[in-house]
Amino acid sequence: MCSGVKSGVRLRRYAITAISVIAGLIVVGRITGILVDWLWFSSIGYDGVFWTILCARALLFAAVFAVSACAIWLSGSLAHRYARGVDILRAEAGDPSGATPVTGDLAELVAPYVPWRSSIACAAIILGLLIAASEIPSWDIALRFIYQVPVGERDPIFERDIGFYLFSLPAYVALKNWLLWLVFCSAIVAGVVYGLRGDIAPERPPRTLSAAAITHGSALLGLLFALKAWSWWLDRFLLLYGDNGVVVGASYTDVHVELPVLWMLVGLAAASSVALWINMRQRSYLLPAVLALLVFGSSFVFAVIYPLLFQRFYVKPSELGLETPYIEHTIALTREAYGLAKIEIKPFEAGQGLTLDSLQANRATIDNIRLWDVQPLMDSYAQLQEIRTYYKFLSVDIDRYQLDNGYRQVMLSARELEPAMLAPNAQTWVNLHLIFTHGIGVVMSPVTEKSTEGLPLLYLRDIPPVSNGGPAIREPRLYFSEGQQDYVLVNGKVAEFDYPKGADNAYTTYSGRDGVTIGSVARRSLFAWQFDDPNILLSGYITDQSRILLHRNIRDRVRTIAPFLSLDHDPYVVASNGRLYWIQDTYTVSQWFPYSRPGFGEGANYIRNAVKVVVDAYNGTVDFYVSDPADPLLRTYERAFPGLFKPLDMMPPELRRHIRYPEDLFLIQAQVYRAYHMEAPEVFYNREDLWQFPRELAGMDGGSAASTMPPYYTIMRLPGEARAEFILMLPMVPSQRENMIAWLVARCDSAGYGKLIVYTFPKDRLVFGPFQVEARIQQNTEISQQISLWNQMGSRVIRGHLVVVPIENSILYVSPLYLRAESGQLPELKRVIAAYGDRVVMEDSLGEALAALFKETAQAAPAPRGTVDARAREALAHYDRAIERMKAGDWSGFGAELDALRPLLEALGAHRSDDQK
C-alpha cells in the first residue's frame, strides 16, 4: 500500500513537471509572438493598432478567466464544504458499520484519496482558461460595443436604432452564451464533487440527493432559469433575423404569436428562478424537476408547436395579405443593407439603329472592347515574359490609364518571384532568404489590340521594364506582392539578386523603409525562436544594419494590421509616378442587420466597401483610405483605432484615378438585386420578375459547356453621358429565360464613383440575350465548320467570353476566339466574332468584324435613286477608304473619311429631292 502511494506521488510529480514544461513553452511562444508582432507593428507605424487589439484581447481574456475560474471554484468549494460524505450518510441510513453500501464503490474508494481543494482549484483554472480562450475571438464584438455609433435609422418592429442590432445585440448574445457555459461548468464541477463525496446516490431510493446537493442544485438551476429569462427577452430581437421562406425577418406569426409567447416564457422562467431560490430553504428535490419540466415543456409547446400550427392553418391560407407589411420591411431593409436603395433605374430602348456614324461617335467604346480573356492572356504572358523559371505571373488585373493614345483600358500583371521554381539544389537558406528577395516589373497590354501573329501587343515588357506606349516605371522591384512570400533578410553581407542580365546578373541592395532591425544577438535569437530557424542566429551574413521583412503577401499584410476588415479576392497592381503599388479593396460586413437577407459569407447580411488600402510594392507602406465615410461600422472602427484611417482625398490624385468598384461587392449586390429589384410586395411574393445571370459558352473545344457570365470592366460612354468612362457591368436575363431584360452598371471613375445604374429593356419585345447570341454563333455554318476544322488539325479552339457592348441605344456582341497548339502553351487571338441584330460575322480582327457587320447593313439598305455622277463615285471612294481604315484599326483615319463622306451624301440627298420634284 505504501509503495503504491509513493508511486502515485512520483507519477503526480512527473505529470506536474510535464504540464509545467508544456505550459512554459506555450507561454514563451505566445510572448515571443507578441514581441515579434510589436516590433513589426512599430516598424510600420501602427503600434497604436497593435496595442488596442492586444489590450482588448488581454482584458477580455483576463476578465472572462477571472470570473469563470472564481465562479467554478466557488461552486466546487461550496459543494466540497457542505457535502455530507459517505460516513454521515451511512449513519443517517442506520448502518454505521458500513455493511450496506450507500453510494457505491467509486465514492468509497476515491473520496478518501482526493486532494479536494487543489483538485477543485485546478479544475477551475483549466475550465476558466478554456472558456476564456474560446471568448478571445469576441474582442471585436467588445470593441464595437464600446465604441458604437448610432445609425440614425430604426427598425420597424421595436423602433430601436439599427446601431443596437449592429453593436449591442451581438455583445448581449455573446455575454449570455458565456454565462450559460459558466453555469453549466459550475454545475458539472459541483456534481462531480457531490457524486464522489457520496451525496448523489441514484441507486438508493427514495432519497437520492443530500440536502446540500438539493440546495446547491436549486441555486444553480435558478441561475439557469434567470439566464433563460434574459435569453428569451433577447430572442424577441432575434425574430428580426428569421426566415420562413417568404419573409426574411419577423413575419406575421413572429409578431402575433412568437412575441407574446416569448414574453410569457420570460415571466415563467423568472418566476421559476425565484421559486428555486426559495427552494434552497425548502430543499424539495421534486420542485426543481417539476419547474424544469414546466419551463422547457412550455417552451416546446408554445414556442415551437403552436407557431407551426398557427402558420400552417391560419397564415398560409391568407399569406399574401397577412405578410404584405413584413415583405415590405424585408425589401426595404435588404436593399438598405446591400446599398441597393440608391440604384438609379433608366430605360434602354435596345433599338436597331447602330450605324457607322454611331461607331465613329463612340470610338472610345470601340477602342476598349476587351478581346483578351484573363487565362489566355496569362498563358501568353507566361510564355513571352516570365524570362526565367523563377518568375511567375499569378494574376492579370484590368485597369485604365491615360496614355499617349488616349484613355485606354489595359491588362497588366506583376512579375513575381516564385522561390519554389528555383532549381532544387539552388533552394538553399541563403538563396531563399538573402539573395532571391523580390520580383521585378509588370507586363501591360491593351485589351483590344494584337500582333499579326495573334499575340498581345505589350505596352510594358522585359526586365528592367521597357515602355512602348505605357507608363514609365523607375522603381520596378516588388518586395511585397500576391505570392506566398516568406521572410527575407536585407542589407546583409551578400548582395540581392536583381534581374538576369545576359550571361551575368544584376544585383541590388534594399533601400526602402520596411523591415525590423535584426542586427543584435537578442533580436536574432528572438526571430530564430519565433520562426524555428537557427540560421537567423548562426548566419555570418547578417550585419548590424540588417533588417527582416515580414508579412510580404499583401493580403496577409492588410489582414494582420486590420483583422476586422474583410478583403476582396483581387488586389490589383498600379503603376503610378514611376512606382508600383497594390490597391486592396476591403469591406465592413455584419450578420446583424435586421430584416436583411443573408447573401454571402457565413450568413452575413450587410456589406460596405468602406476602405481602400494602398500598399507600396517596394517600401511596404500601408495606407487605409476611407471610401464610405457614412458606414456606421467604419465610424465605430475610426473611434476604436484613431489615426488608422485617412480621408480618401488624402490619397495621391494619380492613384485615386485607379480606384475601381470592386467585383466581389458588385457580384453580391447583383445576386441580391435579382429578386430585390421587385419593390411591390405582391410581385415579390409571386416572384413574377425574378432575374438571373446570363449563360455563355467559353473555354476549350470552341466553348461546348455553358457557364455563368461574370461581370466585366470596360470603358464605354453610357447613354446620355458626354464622355466614355470606366465601368463594371453585368447583363441580366429573366428567370428561366434567355432574352436580355436589363444590364447593371457600377461607375468607377472619380466623378461618379460608386453609383449603380440599371438600364431596363422594354418588356413588349424580344432583345437577344448572351446565350441566344451564343446559339446563333454555334448555328452559323461558316463559324462552326471553321472551329471543327481547327480542332481536327492539331489545334485547340478556345472560345473567349462574350462581351455585351451597349452603344447609344443598341447592343453589340463581341467574342474573341483563340487557337492553341495541342502540345503548346501559347494561345493566339485568331478571330473576332461580332453579332448585331440577326447578323453574325467572324473576321481576323475587331475592325474587320465591325466592317463586315456594318457593310452588310449598308448593302441591305435600299439603293438611292437618281443619276450616278462624280459625287456618288467620290462618296463611294470615301466609303471604301473608311472601311479600309476601320479594318486597319485606324479610327482617326476612319473618322476623317466619314467627315468627308457626309457633305457628299447630303448633296446626293438634295439631288434626289430635286429629281422627285
DSSP conformation letters of 438-475: -EE-EEEEESS-B-TTSPBPPSEETTTTEESSS--EEE
Q: What is the pLDDT of residue 867?
A: 37
Instruction: Flag whether pLDDT at 805 surpasses 90.
Output: yes
Collect all residues with Cβ–Cβ distance below 8 Å to 114 and sequence separation of at least 6.
196
Closest to 702 (Cα-Cα) out of 846, 819, 829: 819
Average pLDDT, integer, range 313-325:
95
- Amino acid 99: pLDDT: 47
Query: What are the strands, taking DSSP E only, across 509-659?
Result: 516-517, 547-549, 566-567, 572-576, 578-590, 606-616, 622-626, 645-647
Handedness of CA 573, 755, 727, 735 (dihedral sign): positive
Mean pLDDT of 730-742: 92
Angle formed at CA 523 by CA 518 and CA 526, multiple of 5 degrees: 125
Predicted confidence at residue 119, as pLDDT, reads: 85
CA dihedral (633, 635, 637, 639) positive or negative: negative
Confidence grade of residue 81 (pLDDT, cut at 50, 70, 90): confident
CA triple 250-255-258, angle to 5 deg = 95
Residue range 411-419: mean pLDDT, rounded: 94
Cell of 632: 456606421
Per-residue pLDDT at 840 = 93
* Residues 471, 477 contacting (CB under 8 angstroms): no
Which residue is listed with cell 417568404? 246
At 8, the pLDDT band (50, 70, 90 cuts) reads low
Among 70-84, 167-181, 253-267, 306-320, name the one with the lowest average pLDDT: 70-84
Most confident of the following: 13-27, 352-366, 521-535: 521-535
pLDDT band at 88 (very low <50, low <70, confident <90, very high): low
Alpha-carbon 406 to chain mean position: 34
373 band by pLDDT with thresholds 50, 70 and 90 = very high
Mean per-residue pLDDT, 703-732: 90
* pLDDT tens figures, 198-251: 777 665 544 567 888 889 999 999 999 999 999 999 999 999 999 999 999 999
Confidence (pLDDT) at 11: 61
What number is the average pLDDT over the span 125-147? 95
pLDDT of res. 873: 62
pLDDT band at 420 (very low <50, low <70, confident <90, very high): confident
pLDDT reported for residue 856:
54
CA distance 784 to 913: 46
pLDDT tens figures, 693-709: 999 887 665 556 788 99
Q: What type of residue sits at position 363?
A: R
Using 50, 70 and 90 to split pLDDT, how confident is the model at 722?
Answer: confident
User: What percentage of the chain reaches a pLDDT higher than 90?
Assistant: 67
Nearest partner of 107 among 212, 198, 194, judged by Cα: 198
pLDDT for position 917: 47
Query: What is the average pLDDT across 484-491?
Result: 92
Mean pLDDT score of the chain? 88
- What's the average model confidence in pLDDT over 579-589? 97
When pLDDT is cut at 50, 70 and 90, the band that residue 865 belongs to is very low
Confidence of residue 859 (pLDDT cuts 50, 70, 90): very low
Distances (CA, A) of 332 to 164, 217, 348, 596, 690: 18, 48, 25, 9, 17
In sequence order, what DSSP letters do the residues of 833-859 get, joined into one string? EEEETTEEEEESSHHHHHHHHHHHHHH
Compute the distance between CA of residue 475 and CA of residue 458 in angstroms, rounded to an integer. Answer: 19
Mean per-residue pLDDT for 297-309? 94
Q: What does the alpha-carbon distance between residue 160 and residue 153 come to, in Å, rounded to a whole number?
A: 8
**For range 802-822, the mean pLDDT:** 91
pLDDT of 565 above 90: yes
Q: Give the pLDDT of residue 704.
A: 60
Average pLDDT over residues 51-78: 95
What are the residues whose beta carbons fall under 8 Å from the beta carbon of 453, sequence distance 6 or more?
A: 828
Write the CA distances from 490 to 419, 545, 560, 698, integer angstroms.
Answer: 16, 9, 22, 46
Overall average pLDDT of the 866-879 stretch: 60
User: Does 78 have pLDDT greater than 70?
Assistant: yes
Residue 527: half-sphere exposure toward Cβ, Cα within 13 Å: 27
Q: Which segment of 143-147, 358-362, 545-549, 841-845 scores lowest on mean pLDDT?
A: 358-362
Q: In Å, what is the CA distance from 140 to each residue of 56, 62, 146, 171, 430?
A: 8, 16, 10, 10, 40
Confidence at 858, pLDDT banded by 50, 70, 90: very low
Task: Decide which of 729 and 859 is more confident.
Answer: 729
